[in-house]
C-alpha cells in the first residue's frame, strides 16, 4: 500500500507532522512486512480541524445524498473485496477463508445494513404539537480494535456518516492495513473532503488526545474495559458523549434437554473461531453436573478437529494470535488454569507441533472449572474454553450472571420457550438461542463493564444522533 505511511486528512494523503514509524508484524511469521506512521497531537488537531470545517456542510446534506455516497462506498468495497480479505489475513493472521467469509464480509454486511436502516429511519416525527428531530452529534472520534478490524470500523463509520457526522478514525496500530485500505475506498467513493479522516497511532499518543479534544463531540471506542475506562475518564473533562463496546466473558448455558453432542461441539468451535479473539466468544460453557465428563470428551474431540496452520492455506481453520503480547497473555492464563486445579482436557501450554514460528497456540479445553478460578473470570482472548457445571437452572443463571461483564450470553435448549425464559434472566446485551444466524439488524453492545451504547443498523444511527424537540411546531 503506497499510503501506509501517510494519514488521510481533509480529503488528501499527508505525511505525519513529525516522522515516526512502526513496523507491522505478520503474526504467522513474526516478521515485519510493512511500516506505518504513528501520529501525535498535531496530527489529531489537523484531522479534527478538517472534520469540524466539514461538519456544517455534511450535516446539511440531504439524507438521500448521504445514502448515495454510502452506496458508492459499498460498490468500491465490493469491487476491492479480495484486497480487504487479504489485508486482514496478513495483519492479524486470520485464515484466508475466514477473512473472506467473516472478517471482510462484516464490512460489506454492516454497510448494507446501515444503508437499509438509514432509508427507513425516523429522522423526524411529530409528537402532539412537538416535532422530534434526529440530528447529527457532530465531530466523532472513532477508536477501533485489531480483532475484527472492518466489523468495528464499519459499525462506527457507516452510521456516523449516514447520520451527518464527520469523523476522525484511529484504527489499531497492531492491525492497521485494513484501515488504510478502507480510507482508500472512502476516497474513491468521493466523500467531501474532511468528512472522513484517518490518523494512525497508539492509544496514548492519538486515542487519548482524541478522547479529550474539545472539538470532538463524541467518542466511540471498542477495546478492553481497562482502556475504555481511561477513554471515558478523559472524555468526561469535556462532557462529550462516549459509546463503548468493551470486554466479555460470555456464558453458554446448555440445558438438560439440549442435544449435548451438537451444543458442545458448536460451542467449542465458536470459541476457537478467530483464534478466540472475539469479545463475545462463549468462553464459559455451563453443563449439567452429571454431563461434565461427557461434555469434556465431546469438547476435546471438537477442539482436535481444528486445523492450525498457515493463514494463506484455505484448509486452515485457525491462525496465530495477533501478537507476541497476546501470545504471552494466553500462555500465562493457561498456566494459571492448570495451577488452580482445572482439568486440562486438550491443548495446554506451548505451540502446536510443527509451528515453532508464529504466535500459534493450541486449541485448549478445561473442564471441572469453578466460578472462582481466574480462567472463569478473566477475559483470555484466545482459543481457551472453560467448562463449568451446575445442578439446577437457578444455579446456572446465577453462575452465568456472576461476572463483571455483560456483552453476550448463549442458551441451548430443545424447548424454545424455555430458552426464551432463560434469556430474560441473563444480564447481557445480546442473547443467542440455539445457534442462530448472524443478525446484522440486532442491537450489539453490553451491560455492566462491557460498555454502553449499541451498534448495528438503526441502533448505530441512534447513537450518532442528538434528539431535538421543537415545541409548538404544529
**Positions marked catalytic:** 245, 279
Do 103 and 88 form a contact (C-beta atoms < 8 A)?
yes
Give the 3-state DSSP-derived string for 102-155, with helices as H, strands as E and coil as C: HHHHHHHHHHHHHHHHHHHCCCEEEECCEEEEEEECCEEEEECCCCCHHHHHHH
Residue partners of 392: CB distance under 8 A and separation at least 6: none
78 backbone φψ class: left, alpha, beta (φ>0; ψ -120 to 50)? alpha
**Cα-to-chain-centroid distance, residue 411:** 21
Spatial distance between the Cα atoms of 199 and 118, rounded to a whole number of angstroms: 27
Among left, alpha and beta (phi > 0; psi -120 to 50; other), residue 445 is left
3-class secondary-structure state, position 405: strand
> What stretches of 236-323 show up as alpha helix (H) in DSSP?
260-272, 292-303
Residue for grid cell 468528512: 195
The DSSP result for 210-230, as a single string, is HHH-TT--EEEEES-HHHHHH
Those residues whose C-beta lies under 8 Å from the C-beta of residue 364, and which sit 6 or more positions away, are 303, 334, 344, 346, 347, 348, 382, 383, 384, 385
Amino acid at each position: 500500500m503506497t499510503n501506509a505511511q501517510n494519514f488521510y486528512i481533509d480529503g488528501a494523503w499527508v505525511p505525519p507532522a513529525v516522522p515516526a514509524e512502526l513496523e507491522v508484524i505478520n503474526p504467522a511469521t513474526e516478521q515485519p512486512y510493512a511500516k506505518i506512521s504513528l501520529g501525535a497531537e498535531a496530527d489529531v488537531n489537523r484531522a479534527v480541524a478538517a472534520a469540524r470545517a466539514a461538519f456544517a456542510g455534511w450535516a446539511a446534506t440531504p439524507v438521500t445524498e448521504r445514502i448515495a455516497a454510502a452506496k458508492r462506498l459499498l460498490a468500491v468495497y465490493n469491487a476491492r473485496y479480495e484486497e480487504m480479505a487479504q489485508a486482514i489475513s496478513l495483519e492479524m493472521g486470520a485464515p484466508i477463508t475466514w477473512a473472506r467469509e467473516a472478517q471482510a464480509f462484516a464490512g460489506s454486511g454492516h454497510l448494507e445494513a446501515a444503508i437499509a436502516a438509514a432509508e427507513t429511519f425516523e429522522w423526524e416525527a411529530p409528537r402532539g404539537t412537538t416535532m422530534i428531530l434526529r440530528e447529527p452529534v457532530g465531530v466523532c472520534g472513532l477508536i477501533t480494535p485489531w480483532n475484527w478490524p472492518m466489523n468495528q470500523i464499519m459499525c462506527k463509520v457507516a452510521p456516523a456518516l449516514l447520520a451527518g457526522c464527520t469523523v476522525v478514525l484511529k484504527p489499531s496500530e497492531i492491525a492497521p492495513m485494513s484501515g488504510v485500505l478502507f480510507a482508500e475506498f472512502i476516497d474513491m467513493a468521493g466523500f467531501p473532503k474532511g468528512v472522513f479522516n484517518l490518523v494512525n497511532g497508539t492509544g496514548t499518543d492519538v486515542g487519548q488526545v482524541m478522547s479529550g479534544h474539545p472539538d470532538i463531540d463524541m467518542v466511540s471506542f471498542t477495546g478492553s474495559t481497562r482502556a475504555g475506562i481511561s477513554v471515558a475518564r478523559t472524555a468526561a473533562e469535556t462532557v462529550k458523549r462516549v459509546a463503548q463496546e468493551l470486554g466479555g466473558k460470555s456464558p453458554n448455558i446448555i440445558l438438560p434437554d439440549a442435544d449435548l453432542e451438537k451444543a458442545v461441539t458448536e460451542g467449542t468451535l465458536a470459541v476457537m473461531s478467530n483464534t478466540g479473539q472475539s469479545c463475545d466468544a462463549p468462553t464459559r460453557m455451563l453443563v449439567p453436573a452429571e454431563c461434565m465428563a461427557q461434555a469434556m470428551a465431546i469438547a476435546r474431540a471438537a477442539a482436535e478437529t481444528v486445523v492450525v496452520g498457515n493463514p494463506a492455506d484455505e484448509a486452515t481453520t485457525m491462525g496465530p494470535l495477533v501478537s507476541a503480547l497476546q501470545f504471552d497473555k494466553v500462555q500465562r492464563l493457561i498456566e494459571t488454569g492448570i495451577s488452580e486445579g482445572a482439568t486440562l482436557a486438550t491443548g495446554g501450554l506451548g505451540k502446536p507441533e510443527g509451528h515453532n514460528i508464529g504466535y500459534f497456540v493450541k486449541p485448549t479445553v478445561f473442564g471441572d472449572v469453578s466460578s472462582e478460578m481466574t480462567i472463569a473470570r478473566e477475559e483470555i482472548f484466545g482459543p481457551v474454553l472453560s467448562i463449568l457445571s451446575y445442578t439446577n437452572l437457578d444455579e446456572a443463571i446465577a453462575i452465568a450472571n456472576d461476572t463483571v461483564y455483560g456483552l453476550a450470553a448463549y442458551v441451548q435448549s430443545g424447548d424454545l420457550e424455555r430458552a426464551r425464559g432463560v434469556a430474560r434472566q441473563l444480564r447481557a446485551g445480546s442473547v443467542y438461542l440455539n445457534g442462530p444466524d448472524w443478525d446484522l439488524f440486532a442491537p450489539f453492545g453490553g451491560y455492566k463493564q462491557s460498555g454502553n451504547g449499541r451498534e448495528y443498523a438503526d441502533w448505530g444511527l441512534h447513537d450518532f444522533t442528538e434528539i431535538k424537540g421543537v415545541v409548538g411546531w404544529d
